[in-house]
Amino acid sequence: MDNSSGFGPEDSRFEPWPRSKSARRFGARGRKVGVKRPLSAVVLAAGEGTRMHSSRPKPLHLLCGRPMVLHVIDALAELDVDRVVVVVGHGAERVTKTLLDSGPKMIVDFVEQPVLRGTGDAVAVALTAFPDDDDDGDIVVLPGDTPLLRPPTLAALVRDHRSGSAAVGLLTAKVTDATGYGRVVRDRHGRVARIVEQADATDEELAIDEINTSIYCFRRSVLAPALRRLRPENAQGEYYLTDTIGVLHDAGYSVVSRVVADPMEVAGVNDRAQLAVAEAELRDRTNERWMRRGVTMLDPERTYIDATVTLAADVTLFPGTILQGSTSIGAGAQVGPDTRLIDCVVGEAATVEQTVGRHAEIGAGAIVGPFVTLAAGARVAPGVVTGAFFDSEVER
């Protein structure tokens, strides 16, 4: 690092993090032609999530049928990200396996944070997955528990960061109740000067309604030196990533911010109640997307569709319909009311009502129900009529 960065080895307050031996890389995708500044992402998914009261690692709790951390990675969709570094810790093997099985279409590195010493430490561990001699470009940092973040919002943050030639850009939000969040403290010029966590805030700082979302875009060349200046002198005794904002501001670097239009986008998931709120929001988005693509829902509030489900045009879904897993519904089919299908295939123009099916196939034009249970492997031939009041013609 040259002296133009404003930092040097003498600024280190503790030993630099050694390159992790647990770093592993999977997948690949070429960089787009013409891109001059590389962009990478770090997803922080090492937390234990004790408030979930679950043996399942928090990043793997399901929202619309997909692990929460995958929804976070989805937010990178509008960015030309060269690779994603996921910091794992609690349940590291399960988190890693889940992401590998999902097959993200980009380079994915996994780095383990063996001792949870805070978000600053987690990002420093993530940097061990990057080559030491390549500090060009920018790094987006995302918490693994913000599944509602939309790709356009993240893309706008990166644009603001780059157009402002900033050392860091951060996403903030204005909320009516800031309890539990870090407050954004601005200097007399209105620029972001630092972030103060609630446990360390004064009464005056606690009155601030602008909060930190823990979503950033850093210039990579200044991130590592800023991390080396962190000290765990706070209520939690941890290395706060938020403290890098004050470090960079005080060193004279440009810090830009963007206030998110909808605070719901940056809502974190820390317990089952917040998980349910996020689930409802994602399902509303999913239903709206399908209706705009030609699917009819008589009561969207009572229609539940996993993010992994595929629907054709002119499908009609009646109230109480639950479609899960890899279920696929053909054009013109009618499903419901009170029907649950898991990993099923429904053919074109079929009718399925008051039915429960798992790993079953329903042929085109078939009529199934009411009061039918399709066991795994069951097959209803095209055009067949079956149900409680008809002779059964289900192949097993």
**Three-state secondary structure string covering 140-208:** EEEECCCCCCCHHHHHHHHHHHHHCCCCEEEEEEECCCCCCCCEEEECCCCCEEEEECHHHCCHHHHCC
- Distance (Å, whole) CA 22 – CA 38: 24
DSSP-derived secondary structure letter, 377: T
**Which residue of the set 13, 25, 31, 51 is catalytic?**
51
Number of Cβ within a 10 Å radius of residue 196: 23
Q: Which residues contact 287 (CB under 8 A, 6 or more apart)?
A: 297, 300, 303, 305
Nearest CA to 354 out of 379, 326, 335 is that of 335
Q: Quick one: which of 64, 61, 70 has its CA closest to 290?
A: 64
> 258 φ, ψ to 5°?
-135, 125
Strand partners, 111: 87
- Give yes or no: 51 in active site: yes
Residues 6+ apart with CB under 8 A from 175: 181, 209, 211, 263
Distance CA 267, CA 281 (A): 11
| Alpha helices, DSSP H, located in the chain | 68-74, 92-102, 119-127, 151-163, 203-206, 220-228, 243-250, 272-292
Quote the CA–CA distance of 279 and 257 in Å, as a whole number: 28
> Would you state the structure tokens that stand for residue 246, as one six-digit string?
């004050």
Strand, helix or coil for residue 331 = coil
By the 8 A CB rule, do 39 and 137 touch?
Answer: yes
- Phi/psi-derived region of residue 186, left when phi > 0, alpha when psi is between -120 and 50, beta in every other case: beta
Report whether 69 contacts 43 (CB < 8 A).
Answer: yes
Q: Which active-site residues does the annotation give?
A: 51
